[in-house]
Each structure stands twice: as structure tokens, then as C-alpha cells.
Structure 1
Amino acid sequence: MIPTSFPPRDEIARLTARALLEVGAVHFNSEEPFTLASGLPSPTYVDCRKLISFPRIRSTLMDFLAVTVMRDAGFEAFDNVAGGETAGIPFAALIAERLALPMTYVRKKPKGYGRGARIEGVMAEGERVLLVEDLTTDGGSKLSFVDAIRETGATCGHTAVIFYYGIYPETTEKLGAHGVALHHLCTWWDVLEEARAQGAFEADTLAEVESFLSDPRSWQAARTGG
């Protein structure tokens, strides 16, 4: 069903942050930092995949993402919704259902057999494709998916995510230079504000998280000798 309610952006951000905290998707640890895919340390980690196991939260956030995309990009802006392998696939399916559009997904790399395809499902030349993922940090992983979509002759000028780190200024610049607009529900700053409001973590931990969010490169360099 296509959602028709458009809550204010700040309320969407607050409720999304609250949902992530409620399902235990947010992890803060300043004493034993997490290791990111880049190999760099971070006192924060978010696991949006958990959301698929909570029907009420899942449904609410997908309504939020659908209305955010329609508000920002347009009601008739897309012909196809593509999920990025693997975390984006369930969310793409849910968004495609809400927008009444075909759904496809994009592999990280071609299959090693058969057609060697990166696009699964039906994507036609000239279609306007919305790329859906669970989150983005610096936007880098999105570019490979966008390029795979464009190789079919389709266009892809928008990507939608539940969670955007919001701490690396080059992210929107990198995506923008590639002709891609980013749509998101909340950032680490929204989560930090809600965590403080709830008293979800110790004050010292939240202070260290804020230090990281304010200058992640320096925080990481101080802990890696960089």
C-alpha cells in the first residue's frame, strides 16, 4: 500500500533512531572499538539488518523511506527499485511493494557461472532505477552498484538508505560527482541525541562517541598511529 502520510523530517529521524536503539541495532563501545570494513577503529556500530525481524518497526521505517523518496525525488520518479546485495535486498522488496514498482537486485560481482549477471530480475534500458540499501558510510560501495545498473542502459540518479553516518563530508560530494542523490532517514547525530534522551548508555561512553563523530579521522588516527 502506498503511504500517504508525510511526517516532518526531524520526527522521522527521531523515531528511526529510537527504533534502532529499541531493537539493539546500535552498539557503542569506547574501550574496545569496533573494526570497520576499512580496517579503521570506531566506537560505534549499527546493524540495520536486525530491522527485518521486527514487523511493526520494519513497516513503519519502510513507510518513512517511501515517503522520503517521494517527497524528495517525486511521486513518479522511478520505474524500478533495485536492492544492493545483500543487506539492501529485503528493504528494496518492501519499498518496491509500497511504490508499486518492479524490484530487482544488484550483485557485488558477476556470478561465476551461467550468464555472469550482476542484475537479477528484469531491468530494461531507459528505466529510472532507485537503488536501496540499508546504510551508507562514505558512499563508496554505492558507486559500483550504480555503475552496474547504468551498464544495462537504465539510469540511476538516486539511492535511499535507512541510516547515513553523516560524519564524512565527502560522502554527498562523492555521490553527487557521480550524479547520485542520497536520501536517508537518520544519522549518527540523531542516534546520539536519542540515546542521551533515553539514557541508553553511560555518559562517558556518549561523550567519547560525540568526540568520534565530531572528528572521526583524528579519533581514528590517534588510535592507529596514523
Structure 2
Amino acid sequence: MTALSRKIAGHASDWDRDAAMTTARILLEIKAINFRPEEPYTLTSGWKSPVYIDCRRIIYFPQARTKICELAVEKIQRHIGYESIEAVAGGETAGIPYAAWIADRMGSPMAYVRKKPKGFGRNALIEGDVPEGKRTLLVEDLTTDGQSKIKFAQSLRDAGAFCNHAFVVFFYGVFAGSLETLAENDIALLYLATWWDVLEACRERPYFPAAAMAEVHRFLEAPAEWSAARGGATSNKRPPEE
């Protein structure tokens, strides 16, 4: 594991570490995690990847989603505070159910942010109500490099909300500069698990063959090079949010 991967995979406390492993095990159990190095996935950006995650599967499994939402709220309260969030906003579309569940558990108003405007005026991108003047938590299911989080946060800010925190269930934890770019835009990212946590959980049980595990590890250490070697995108830039 490189210095970058160790930095991203690191968790602030034993609780964070336990939450990461619980989340990774749940994702593996419900088959939201897929390893396919012999037939790589082609992302919409053109990148080739041996891994794919579908956090939308969580909504189908009641015990899994209940546990993940419990961990999410605990993480938010531990790292942001119990009374520091006044509204929760989900990003269209995958973030909406998570925002609803989290807002319900936190007793907070909930809105969602569109990718494209509908209607007119300041609230053209905001549904529910505009959390004007409220400290608002942006919620989505996952992030690769954080770019869509910056756009959603800016939409909330343009509408009059204060948005300096984002939460996702899963953070790729692969692409250098992701957290720094978010920080430059005054957004602190909270997440439950990364690909590194998934690899660690896979060492406990043989979810995938050893050869597939080794190839995924090679991808995570050098995703651009791995993609290029298999005819995928050759840009050194991070792929856009999928």
C-alpha cells in the first residue's frame, strides 16, 4: 500500500475503523461489490476498472440499510456535532433515499438538489424547500473524486444555504488530490468505507479468488496506468463521478 492509500484508508478512531469494516462486510454480503479483472468494466468516462460498486442495492435490504444509516448518523454526530446540522440535502438521484433516512433519524428538514434546473428562480435546483441560512449536510451514496459534490454544494450555496460538509457511504479512496480538492472548496467529506476497507474485509472471507484480489490491488495502487494498459482512458486526470 502506498503512502497515498494509507493516508486515505486511515480512520480517525477505533469506532471509525469498526464502522468501515462493518460497512464493507455489508456491501460484500449484499453483492454491491463486484470484482471482474478478467473482463474490466468500462466506466462512462472511458476508464477501465476491475471493480464496480452499486450502492443503490442497499435500499432493497432493510437490515443492511438500517445498519448503514445508523453508522452514518453516528459518524456525522461524532465528526460534525449533534446540533451542528440544521438540514439535510440529497443529491439527485442516488443520494435522495440516504438523505431521507438520515434526516429522519436526525430530526432534520430534508431537501434534494437537482443535477439540472427545473423551473425558475433561486430554487430551480432545490426540491422540498430551500434551506436558506441553514447549516446543510449534502448526502450522496458514493464519490470517486468529489467533483459532483462540489457542484451540488455550490447549488445549495447559491440558493442561500451553508454547505461545508458532505457525507457518502462509499469513497473510492484511490485518486490523489480528491480530499484536497474538496477542502479547497471548503467541503469536508465524511465517508464510511473505501476500496481499501473492502480489500481488508475480503481477507477475512474468500469473497473473490486470490488472483482477482491481487489484480484489484494493482488497480487501486495505480488506476490510470491499469486502465491505459487495458485500452481504457489514458488521461492522468481522475475520471468523473459515475
Fold agreement, TM-score > 0.5 = yes
CA deviations on 1:147-175 (whole Å, 9 max, x unpaired) are: 11001111100000000001112110110
Aligned residues: 220
SS at match of 2:230: helix
Q: Which residue matches 2:204?
A: 197
Map of 1:134-213 to 2, 5 A cutoff?
134-213=141-220
Unmatched runs of 5 consecutive residues or more in structure 1 = 1-5
For structure 1, which segment, 144-153 or 120-129, has the greater mean C-alpha deviation from structure 2 after superposition? 120-129
CA deviations on 1:22-79 (whole Å, 9 max, x unpaired) are: 1010000001111123220100000000001111110010010111011111111111
2:18 and 2:179 map into 1 onto residues whose CA distance is 22
SS at match of 1:166: coil
What is the deviation of 1:80?
Answer: 0.6
Do 2:24 and 2:197's aligned partners in 1 also have CA atoms closer than 8 Å? yes
Asked if 1:76 corresponds to 2:83, the answer is yes
Asked if 1:42 corresponds to 2:61, the answer is no
For structure 1, which segment, 172-181 or 120-129, has the greater mean C-alpha deviation from structure 2 after superposition? 120-129
**Scaled by the length of structure 2, what TM-score is found?**
0.87
Q: 2:99 aligns with which of 74, 92, 111?
A: 92
Query: What amino acid does structure 1 have at the position aligned with 2:43?
Result: L
Q: 1:57 aligns with which of 57, 64, 80?
A: 64
**Scaled by the length of structure 1, what TM-score is found?**
0.93
Asked if 1:23 corresponds to 2:35, the answer is no
What is the deviation of 1:114?
Answer: 6.4
What is the deviation of 1:216?
Answer: 1.0
For structure 1, which segment, 15-24 or 35-44, has the greater mean C-alpha deviation from structure 2 after superposition? 35-44
Asked if 1:216 corresponds to 2:216, the answer is no
2:132 and 2:120 map into 1 onto residues whose CA distance is 21
1:221 and 1:175 map into 2 onto residues whose CA distance is 26
SS at match of 1:76: coil
Q: Percent identity?
A: 49
Do 1:80 and 1:123's aligned partners in 2 also have CA atoms closer than 8 Å? no
Do 1:196 and 1:206's aligned partners in 2 also have CA atoms closer than 8 Å? no
Q: Which has the higher contact order (CA 8 A, sep 6+)?
A: 2
Q: Which residue matches 1:3?
A: none
What is the deviation of 1:7?
Answer: 7.3
Q: Which residue matches 2:10?
A: none
Do 2:87 and 2:131's aligned partners in 1 also have CA atoms closer than 8 Å? no
Unmatched runs of 5 consecutive residues or more in structure 2 = 1-12, 235-242
